[in-house]
């Protein structure tokens, strides 16, 4: 459905964002916070934890923050309602005009808390669904399907990061017919900040790169296992791995990655452009996200991409044109797909150009920002 038409708004609006972590808030800072504050409005970021770098990032642009960290022991449903109660108290004290809520479990909690205080406008951002798509066991930070239905019934607008997630929730009857919905590719593609990069020489062995969060659902361990399988077949190839902080419930210990003999562990990813400069092929076998930004940045850099055939990820690939799709959670299939690049490295330059062209067809950061401002009734 189309974005609802903007209406007249007060001179200053108070907009609260509820999310899973301070690092997630930093992504929203880049996408939206600064623009909202520049327009004269107030922003409050609410999350269970903030690192010092997160707080510094918010302070720099004049955004406020609040910590929401209720006790989580006891039965899950009881813990969920305690979390919602804590959010209601924080929101009631700040009295927002609009509440934007995202991040799986926090999206659900935030929408229900916002409804509980009678927030004038609630925007639910569905940026990913549970790993098994409601067909298997849930992780500690995942919510059952019916809770998504509760959140969407509480919302005045819903934003999805891929079409598959919207289609599944509609199929399950969880999206109210009257709820305006929109699909955007995560934060969009920034073609100016992520320039097309020349490929390294192809005559010294291929370099594969993965940049992903420290959560098993991002496919990091499958990448390490695939690298081990390929090491014997192609001793000159290199397998690089850089990670980003991740608040997921299936966290990986960095020490476990440092012990992998087949992967060059680079630590925390800082300058992703520099890492992509070294690589011929970008690998991202994650299977529980809405639209992973590392994939979009790799497309913009002009790198063939090898990703899991999962919601969101599959939208980045035209098979055998700019990359490959592989079965999720299958290191053997991933290794075979990586080996296909070893057998035909001559195809990489054309696939690299196709990836950049694919990035140019995705919606830009500015386009996504404009749609979100319209949804917030600030444009």
- Per-residue pLDDT 10s for the chain (379 aa) are 444 444 444 589 999 999 999 989 988 999 999 999 999 999 999 999 999 999 999 999 999 999 986 555 556 667 888 999 999 999 999 999 999 999 999 999 999 999 999 999 999 999 999 999 999 899 888 999 999 999 999 999 999 999 999 999 999 999 999 999 999 999 999 999 999 999 999 988 999 999 999 889 999 999 999 999 998 888 899 999 999 877 666 888 888 888 888 999 998 887 788 899 999 999 999 998 899 999 999 999 999 999 999 999 999 999 999 999 999 999 999 999 999 999 999 999 999 999 999 999 999 999 999 999 999 999 7
Which pLDDT belongs to residue 10? 53
Co-location of 150 and 262 in the same domain: no
Co-location of 129 and 249 in the same domain: no
- Per-residue buried b or exposed e for 236-246, using 16+ beta carbons within 10 Å of the residue's own CB: ebbbbbbbbbb
| Pair of tokens at residue 303 | 């790198």
CATH number at residue 284: 3.40.50.2000
Tell me how far CA of residue 20 lies from CA of 101, 237, 345, in angstroms. 9, 37, 41
Pairing type for strands 121-126 and 323-326 reads: unpaired
In a domain, 294, yes or no: yes
In a domain, 272, yes or no: yes
Co-location of 369 and 331 in the same domain: no
Co-location of 148 and 296 in the same domain: no
Co-location of 22 and 169 in the same domain: yes
Co-location of 162 and 218 in the same domain: no
Co-location of 322 and 369 in the same domain: no
In a domain, 201, yes or no: no
| Pair of tokens at residue 37 | 């504050």
Co-location of 345 and 370 in the same domain: no
Q: Which domain holds residue 102?
A: 14-188+364-375
In a domain, 171, yes or no: yes
In a domain, 2, yes or no: no
Number of domains in the chain: 2
Co-location of 355 and 368 in the same domain: no
Co-location of 39 and 182 in the same domain: yes
In a domain, 3, yes or no: no
**CA pair distance 68, 94, nearest whole angstrom:** 13
In a domain, 168, yes or no: yes
Co-location of 110 and 95 in the same domain: yes
Co-location of 183 and 313 in the same domain: no
């Amino acid at each position: 459905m189309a974005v609802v038409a903007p209406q007249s708004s007060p001179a200053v609006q108070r907009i609260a964002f509820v999310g899973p972590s301070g690092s997630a808030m930093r992504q929203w800072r880049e996408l939206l916070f600064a623009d909202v504050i520049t327009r004269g409005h107030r922003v409050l970021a609410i999350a269970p934890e903030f690192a010092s770098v997160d707080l510094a990032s918010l302070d720099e642009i004049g955004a406020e923050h609040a910590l929401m960290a209720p006790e989580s022991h006891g039965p899950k449903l009881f813990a969920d309602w305690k979390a919602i109660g804590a959010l209601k108290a924080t929101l009631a004290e700040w009295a927002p005009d609009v509440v934007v809520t995202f991040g799986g479990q926090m999206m659900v909690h935030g929408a229900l808390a916002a409804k509980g205080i009678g927030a004038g406008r609630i925007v639910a951002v569905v940026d990913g669904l549970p790993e098994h798509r409601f067909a298997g066991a849930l992780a500690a930070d995942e919510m059952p399907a019916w809770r998504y239905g509760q959140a969407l019934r509480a919302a005045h607008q819903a934003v999805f990061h891929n079409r598959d997630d919207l289609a599944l929730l509609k199929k399950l009857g969880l999206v109210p017919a009257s709820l305006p919905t929109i699909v955007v590719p995560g934060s969009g593609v920034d073609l100016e900040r992520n320039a097309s990069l020349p490929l390294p020489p192809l005559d010294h062995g291929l370099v594969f790169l993965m940049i992903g969060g420290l959560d098993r659902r991002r496919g990091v361990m499958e990448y390490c296992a695939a690298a081990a399988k390929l090491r014997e077949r192609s001793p000159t190839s290199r397998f690089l791995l850089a990670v980003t902080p991740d608040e997921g419930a299936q966290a990986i210990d960095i020490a476990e990655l440092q012990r992998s003999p087949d992967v060059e562990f680079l630590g925390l990813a800082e300058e992703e452009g520099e890492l992509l400069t070294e690589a011929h092929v970008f690998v991202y076998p994650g299977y529980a996200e809405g639209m992973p930004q590392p994939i979009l940045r790799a497309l913009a850099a002009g790198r063939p991409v090898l990703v899991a055939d999962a919601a969101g990820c599959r939208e980045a690939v035209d098979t055998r044109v700019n990359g490959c799709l592989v079965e999720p959670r299958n290191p053997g299939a991933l290794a075979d797909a990586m080996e296909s690049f070893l057998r035909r490295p001559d195809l990489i330059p054309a696939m690299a150009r196709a990836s950049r062209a694919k990035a140019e067809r995705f919606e830009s950061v500015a386009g996504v920002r404009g749609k979100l401002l319209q949804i917030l009734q600030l444009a």
